[in-house]
Amino acid sequence: MRYEVSVLVLNRLFIAIISLLIVSFAVFFATSMLPGDTASILLGQAATPEAVAGLRRAMHLDEPAILRFLEWLFGLMKGDLGTSYANNMPVAELIGRRLLATLELAAITTLVSVPLALLLGITSAMLRGSYYDRLVTVISIGVISVPEFMVATLAVLLFAVYLRWLPALSSTSEAHTLFDLLKIYAMPVITLTFVISAQMIRMTRAALIETLKTPYVEMALLKGASRGRMVFRHALPNALGPIVNAIALSLSYLVGGVIIVETIFNYPGIAKLMVDAVATRDLPLIQSCAMIFCLGYLLLITAADIIAILSNPRLR
């Protein structure tokens, strides 16, 4: 049995590595096909053809695409992200300044959304069919149906324009006290929490209800176990795999949602950096940011698969 678990885990890791290689290929060639010439954009409209051609040679843009891809891929494997075209700085240095801010936003959102979603999902499953369950279900479905840019816009209108409680833009450089920092993070965290918690609530509720229907849980209830003991002692540990998958899938949405949220609230994170790099056709910076997002997504999905394998009682 341990051999079977090891094989399944190694299989998931192998699939993640192959997926990352495929994604790197797609990211490189997709960004290379962006409209506009990078050298012309950097030099401006007054640049001569000779100057544009010289800059293209200096940035190796005149080389075949497959050769540039292999050089870039080998550089990634060695930890070399290249040099930014627009800033003439190492990409790693530019990303390092913003990555921490994005991780802070993701961490705060996780600390708020996961306990909230688990609480609502578990209590909704325990009180299945009640008015409370129906209310949570209606609100969850309603939130899922609204895109994150709409949630962000409504949050700005409500908390920044009408109530004037929170700033419309999230600039961490303006934070001087803990209260200022909480105000700056409030709107991005509220938006992301709304977006990812609803799906987490629905999937947690469904996983727990499915486990509550199993014969051994019903037998525990017939033996006189209280509803709380039945849920937390018997049902919840065996629903851990699907719930962890639900959390990982929901948190992986942060990869896409954070791009829109950072842009709307002008939050100084890596997603905003990538959006700005698209305007200047800064290919090394765009490619590195995209790979970081893809790596984060794959890590979450792979971790969820491995935890689901290890938490499977039949495999244990």
- In sequence order, the 6+-apart residues with CB closer than 8 A to the CB of 234 are 216, 217, 220, 225
Q: Is the pLDDT of residue 230 over 80?
A: no
Its pTM stands at: 0.79
273-293 tens-digit pLDDT: 888 888 777 888 888 888 888
154-189 tens-digit pLDDT: 888 888 888 888 887 776 666 667 677 777 888 888
Per-residue pLDDT averaged across 205-214, rounded?
A: 81
User: Which range has the worst mean pLDDT, 55-69, 130-144, 227-241, 251-265?
Assistant: 227-241
Cα separation, 300 vs 310, in Å, equals 15
Tokens encoding 135: 């209310």
**Listed residue (269, 265, 107) closest to 183, CA to CA:** 265
List of domains in the chain: 2-35+81-310 (1.10.3720.10)
Tokens encoding 218: 């019903």
3-state secondary structure the chain: CHHHHHHHHHHHHHHHHHHHHHHHHHHHHHHHCCCCCHHHHHHCCCCCHHHHHHHHHHCCCCCCHHHHHHHHHHHHHCCCCCECCCCCCEHHHHHHHHHHHHHHHHHHHHHHHHHHHHHHHHHHHHCCCCHHHHHHHHHHHHHHHCCHHHHHHHHHHHHHHHCCCCCCCCCHHHCCCHHHHHHHHHHHHHHHHHHHHHHHHHHHHHHHHHHHCCHHHHHHHHCCCCHHHHHHHHHHHHCHHHHHHHHHHHHHCHHHHHHHHHHHCCCCCHHHHHHHHHHCCCHHHHHHHHHHHHHHHHHHHHHHHHHHHHCCCCCC
Q: pLDDT band at residue 225, thresholds of 50, 70 and 90?
A: low
What is the phi/psi pair of residue 83, to 5°?
A: -120, 135
Would you say 52 and 39 are in contact if contact means Cβ atoms under 8 Å apart?
A: yes
Would you say 151 and 158 are in contact if contact means Cβ atoms under 8 Å apart?
A: no
Quote the pLDDT of residue 3.
Answer: 67
34-84 tens-digit pLDDT: 776 667 766 766 677 777 777 777 777 777 778 888 888 888 888 888 888
What are the C-alpha distances in Å from 113 to residues 105, 109, 116, 163, 292?
Answer: 12, 6, 5, 24, 22
Q: Which residues pair with 83 in a beta bridge?
A: 90
- Neighbouring C-alpha atoms within 13 Å toward the C-beta of 288: 28
Quote the pLDDT of residue 278.
Answer: 82
